[in-house]
Amino acid sequence: MCYVMSYIRMAMCVILFLTLFTGMCVADSKGNLALNGMAVQSSLGHPQGDAQNAVDGNRDSDYKKESCTFTKTEFNPWWRVDLGNVYTVSNVTITNRGDCCKERLRGAQIRIGNKLDNNGNNNELAATILTAPNGTQTFSFESVNGRYVNIFLPGNDEILTLCEVEVFAEKKLLINI
């Protein structure tokens, strides 16, 4: 009886230890975290311009190939992906539209964080796209913790089009928000 009790006590200790230990762990996270994530955008400006097209794993920059997003012409358009967990994001790779209108993306901001105030566009500014990307361009920055990655294009009469957004992190933080 004594042996059984001590065995159970030990087993409980192991379970408790593992629970606490794994709760503090950080897991390596390699690869594109945005791939097939839940994506939304401020508006839909064209039937083939769905927000999900920027996380479909296809960098095709020809809008006619139906793998790019497209908002209406509006004030401060934005696009957002939910990574599903909090990561320390250090790189975002963006594929701009290539068949025309590259300059539309100039001035767009990469914002990362855990809040959805102002649709996530108030989250920390990680980088600004100062010159229109010619094809695919990677933006590296001081790591920012966050679950949401926004591409925010401030200004009047702007159209936001993204053909692919890829998000990379150093590690995953096991915090559920």
Q: Which residues bind Ca ion (CB under 5 A)?
A: 53, 56, 58, 67, 164
Q: List own/partner pairs for 44-53 with CB under 8 A and 24 or more apart.
A: 44/70, 44/71, 44/72, 45/70, 45/71, 45/72, 45/73, 45/159, 46/70, 49/161, 51/79, 51/80, 53/162, 53/163
- Least spacing, CB of residue 122 vs Ca ion, in Å: 26
Any idea which residue has 């065995």 for tokens?
7
- Least spacing, CB of residue 17 vs Ca ion, in Å: 44
Q: 10: part of which helix (H) or strand (E)?
A: helix 2-24
- Least spacing, CB of residue 153 vs Ca ion, in Å: 18
Q: Pick the closer one to Ca ion by CB: 58 or 114.
A: 58
Q: Pick the closer one to Ca ion by CB: 56 or 170.
A: 56
Q: Pick the closer one to Ca ion by CB: 53 or 121.
A: 53
